[in-house]
Structure 1
Amino acid sequence: MTVTVRRAHQDDADGLSRLAALTFPLACTPETSEEFLATHIATRLDPATFRRQLAHPAHVVLLAEPAPSKDPIGYTMLIGGEPDDPDVQDAITLRPTIALERFYVHPDHHGSGVAAQLMSATLEAARASSARGAWLGVSEENGRANAFYARHGFEVVGTKRFHIGDAWEDDNVRERAL
């Protein structure tokens, strides 16, 4: 299968929303409530939200799509600028920085090489932003994702806590030089 990675456009919002609704729950812990997941998907991963993000100058959204289909099988979102979270501000050391806010691949394509191809393109886009480093947050409980990010040079530099639904969860803060 031939996969293309490209920058997403406004007309990709519906497909990105469908993929996000499928993949976001896979990154959550078992303690994340179904109610929270449904609300988050409906209000933060909907097509209108993706259209706003795609129009924002600090956001870079890349998608992976197989030929000849135009339905995305993976996507990433980079957000430039200083992080708002004080735990992240204290943990990261490379500035200017860019956040790898989202990195998702359709579960049918896990282990196919799509994620590595998407990561390569994402790091290239991050470098093009003139950032010196990239950071991300990933659940301490997500062993598969942590191993993937470690293979791609993201080292644990701290932790951050965040409120999701009715619970507090901990993320590893990972950073790598560009």
Structure 2
Amino acid sequence: MEYIQVKKATIDDLSATQRIGRETFFETFADSNTKEDMEKYLEDSFNNSRVIAELRNPDSSFYIAWENENPVGYLKLNTGTAQTEQQDQKALEIERIYVKSSHHGKKVGQLLYEKALEVAREKHNSYLWLGVWEKNPRAIRFYEKNGFIAFDKHIFKMGNDEQIDIMMKKEL
């Protein structure tokens, strides 16, 4: 594997952030969802105005894993009111860790997770939390391996389909 570098995304990375977001989400979930739900989610989540607002939000941050000039994965973190559910000032939410399928098993996800852990420690957060789809055993195993435990469930809206996410937490 080539050298992977994780860099914080800025507004200048809008196109790369959108591209890696769409590509990795589609690769991960297209086979398990309808075409209509997938198209709706991708448009709602990765349109220009939404991603620009997220990149400019001081309580959210994106990190892109680069292999040379190619984005191969990314991480989205939220604190404060940007958190999708908890909104606990002591918490850091990992909203997304996605890696291109070509790079599964190459430690890119682990590098992104380690960046989240580093940010949480810098911000003196008490814990990390996230939601992971109950039908994504690969991701659930990844988080369990990294010390996360399930503590609740919530609804994730995938297009028009309501799906169940397992909420997981790791105390720091």
Fold conserved between structures, TM > 0.5:
yes
2:90 aligned with 1:96, yes or no? yes
Structure 1: any 5+ residue segments left out of the alignment?
none
3-state SS of paired residue (1:175)? strand
2:76 aligned with 1:77, yes or no? yes
Aligned match for 1:150, one of 116, 141, 144: 144
- 1:47 CA displacement: 3.9
Partner of 1:133: 127
Structure 2: any 5+ residue segments left out of the alignment?
none
For 1:1-178, list aligned pairs within 5 A. Answer: 1-28=2-29, 32-67=33-68, 69=69, 71-81=70-80, 83=83, 85=85, 96-178=90-172
- 1:165 CA displacement: 2.9
**Letter of the structure 2 residue corresponding to residue 100 of structure 1:** I
Structure 1 vs Structure 2 CA RMSD: 2.1
**Letter of the structure 1 residue corresponding to residue 171 of structure 2:** A
3-state SS of paired residue (1:72)? strand
Kindly indicate whether the alpha-carbon contact (under 8 Å) linking 1:16 and 1:47 is maintained by their aligned counterparts in 2.
no
Kindly indicate whether the alpha-carbon contact (under 8 Å) linking 1:95 and 1:133 is maintained by their aligned counterparts in 2.
no
Count the aligned residue pairs. 170
3-state SS of paired residue (1:170)? strand
Kindly indicate whether the alpha-carbon contact (under 8 Å) linking 2:6 and 2:63 is maintained by their aligned counterparts in 1.
yes
Kindly indicate whether the alpha-carbon contact (under 8 Å) linking 1:159 and 1:170 is maintained by their aligned counterparts in 2.
yes
3-state SS of paired residue (1:134)? strand
Identity %: 27
Kindly indicate whether the alpha-carbon contact (under 8 Å) linking 2:24 and 2:73 is maintained by their aligned counterparts in 1.
no
CA–CA distance in structure 2, aligned partners of residues 79 and 112 of structure 1: 25
Q: 1:154 to 1:29 in 2, by over 3 A?
A: farther
Kindly indicate whether the alpha-carbon contact (under 8 Å) linking 1:59 and 1:78 is maintained by their aligned counterparts in 2.
yes
- 1:176 CA displacement: 0.2
